[in-house]
Amino acid sequence: MEIILAKNIGFCFGVKRAMDLVTAHLNKSKEPVYTLGPLIHNPQVMEKLEKENLVCVSKIEQIKKRGKVFIRSHGVPREILTKLKRKKLKIIDATCPYVKRIQHLVNNLAKKNYTIIIFGKRNHPEVEALVSYAQGKAKVIEKVEDLTRQISGANKKIGLVAQTTQATEDFQKIISFFQSPLFQNKEVKIYNTLCPTTKKRQTEAEKIARETDLVFVIGGKNSSNTTRLAEICSRYQRNTFHIETAEEIDLKNFKRKTKIGIITGASTPEWIIKEVVERVKKSILGG
């Protein structure tokens, strides 16, 4: 029996940066420290941070006192940023630089009057923020199948970007669509904005899912990149389980499985990974 632990695990660069920033401020701040929406999409980490006095609110109106407010790694819509500035709150921007880059791209394309196609989940905070930077010129595509309907009425100039955590394979299909003869009379600018960490993890997830008998994908159920990893794994391995903690592991029916893969999302902390590995060892290997 064998456990295959992915090489690319735990916090990604953007999440680590946000966590380092928040920890430093929580340690030294005498004022309240807020985050508008969960700082990262991992409920267990958020619970821990809230115990350390981070105040998570869903609306600006819930911020009563002066203090510091964190912009999470997914970024926030422009109008929210303006409201926060008006409230005279000290803003600590933990937007991941990869996300920031797309915001700038979208903003510049909008200024030059491009129709901006954003491939991503409409209700995800990263996409909501990108839409705000497009100044009414964005069309969000959630599925490849939506393409034809969505691009009707697009400008002669089209800019294509993707939410950082979308699946590489799906984005490639969208790129191919825009490179087809249908667009020969249009000016199409394509930006591959998938985050490099996400791409690496997706490639590794596919490999592990193909090589193992069962896969655990650890991460928040509200985490877009973890959900995507679980979707990719389930394409190649029907015994794929998206879990948040070790308590969810039930291997009663899988005692005879010999190779177990463990993959994590970009906001999964080390302590949860260790607990999962230990529990798998105990359940399957009797170690």
Tell me which residues are annotated as active site: 126
| Site for ligand SF4 contains 15 (CB under 6 A) | yes
Spacing of C-alpha 57 from chain mean position: 20
Spacing of C-alpha 62 from chain mean position: 25
Annotate each residue in 91-130 with x if it binds ligand SF4 (CB under 6 A) or - if it does not, as one string: -----x-xx-------------------------------
- Minimum CB separation of residue 196 from ligand SF4 in Å reads 7
| Site for ligand SF4 contains 264 (CB under 6 A) | no
Residue type, 13: F
- Residues 6 or more apart in contact with residue 283 via CB below 8 angstroms: 249, 251
Burial (CB < 10 A; 0-12, 13-18, 19+), residue 43, is middle
User: Which among 260, 209, 213 is positioned nearest to 234, based on CA atoms?
Assistant: 209
Residue 188 is given by DSSP the state E
- Minimum CB separation of residue 168 from ligand SF4 in Å reads 13
Using the minimum distance from each CB to ligand SF4, give the nearer residue, 96 or 134. Answer: 96
- Minimum CB separation of residue 17 from ligand SF4 in Å reads 8
| Site for ligand SF4 contains 232 (CB under 6 A) | no
73, 193, 212, 237: which one contacts ligand SF4 (CB under 6 A)? 73
Annotate each residue in 182-201 with x if it binds ligand SF4 (CB under 6 A) or - if it does not, as one string: -------------x-xx---
Number of residues that bind ligand SF4 (CB under 6 A): 15
For residue 37, give Cα distances in angstroms to 76, 79, 274: 10, 15, 27
